[in-house]
Amino acid sequence: MTSRRTLFAALALAGATALAGCGSSSGGVATPTGESTLVVAAAASLQSAFTEIGREFQAAHDGVVVQFTFGGSSGLAAQLAEGAPADVFASADVVNMDRAVDAGLVDGAPVPFARNTLEIVTHPGNPAGIEDLASLAQPGVELAVCAPQVPCGAATAAVAAEAGVVLRPASEEQSVTDVLARVTSGEADAGLVYVTDAAAAGAGVHRVPFPEAEKAVNEYPIAVLAASAAPALAGDFVAYVTGPEGQAVLAAHGFRAP
């Protein structure tokens, strides 16, 4: 089991986060120090909020360590279908959760726990003069978006269609955090990311809200996985995320209530 969990971490190494004391132990299995590890596969846009929730959950559950693998929801769903082990899956859309359900990967019914919308981000000072969604189609604008199979990419396509704007992105990324990184690094003039990611970037970006974003509100579901080594503990984590404590953290990070 440990080797398969190591493989899962390797498949999404760039998005993996282990909270203090995690090591490489198997989810739900006691380590030599008496700790139990819960492995959570979660959408990249949840990284800041879930890292905080994970710390709170650990504090409330003595001897439990939460290990996260963050990445694009479609990639995580594919890895889970290929046998990558985890205890909980949190997706940035219903489509990829439904794929996990249809593949028999989920134990019980997924529970919606948050919603999110898109926002445009540019360099501080907005040197490209981006004012709205249509501005992204201007000649010479280097635009970064999520790939179509990723939830933020599907939302991008929906808002562009709603606005009647034809976007010609310079790059299509596998996660919303990759889009944000291209903007903050200067590789792109602008990007379409979630409101929560734009907020987390702080002074590192200029934010441009646009009304069409309301036409593509992503619902985030969470579920215990059928192959979990610790289904009761996984259920406790889902309950924490959907309960008052978890919802307060998500709201503080800019997520809407489900």
Task: Give the pLDDT confidence of 137-177 residue by residue, as tens digits.
Answer: 999 999 999 999 999 999 999 999 999 999 999 999 999 99
Which helix (H) or strand (E) is 180 found in, with range?
helix 176-184
pLDDT at position 35, please? 76
Check whether residue 106 and residue 228 sit in a common domain. Answer: yes
For residues 18 and 6, membership in a common domain is answered with yes
The verdict on residue 243 lying in a domain is yes
C-alpha span between 257 and 244 (Å, rounded): 11
How far apart CA 220 and CA 109 sit, in angstroms, is: 13
Question: Would you say 105 and 81 are in contact if contact means Cβ atoms under 8 Å apart?
Answer: yes
- For residues 108 and 6, membership in a common domain is answered with yes
What is the percent of the chain with per-residue pLDDT over 90, rounded to a whole number? 86
CA angle 36, 38, 40 (to 5 degrees): 170
Task: Evaluate if residue 229 carries a pLDDT over 60.
Answer: yes
Place 27 in a pLDDT band, splitting at 50, 70 and 90: very low
Q: Point out the annotated binding site for molybdate.
A: 45, 73, 176, 194
Name the pLDDT band for 21 (thresholds 50, 70, 90). Answer: very low
Name the residue range of residue 236's domain.
2-115+219-252
Query: For residue 130, what is the domain's CATH number?
Result: 3.40.190.10
Same domain for 207 and 158:
yes
**156: number of Cβ within 10 Å:** 29
The tally of domains found in the chain comes to 2
Residue 223 lies in a domain: yes
- List, as residue ranges, the binding site: 45, 73, 176, 194
For residues 7 and 111, membership in a common domain is answered with yes
**200 and 240 inside one domain:** no
User: Do 154 and 196 fall within a single domain?
Assistant: yes
Q: How far is CA 221 from CA 42, 83, 109, in A?
A: 10, 20, 10
109 shares its domain with 11:
yes
Residues linked to residue 219 through DSSP beta bridges, in sequence order? 115
The answer to whether 176 touches 91, Cβ cutoff 8 Å, is no
148: nearest Cα among 133, 135, 158: 158
72 φ, ψ (degrees, to nearest 5): -60, 140
Residue 153 lies in a domain: yes
Same domain assignment for residues 81 and 68: yes
Residues 28 and 128 in one domain: no
Q: What is the rounded CA–CA span in Å between residue 244 and residue 253?
A: 14
What pTM was estimated for this model as a whole? Answer: 0.85
In a domain, 228, yes or no: yes
In a domain, 257, yes or no: no
Same domain? For 101 and 190 the reply is no
**Is residue 258 situated within a structural domain?**
no
Same domain? For 132 and 35 the reply is: no
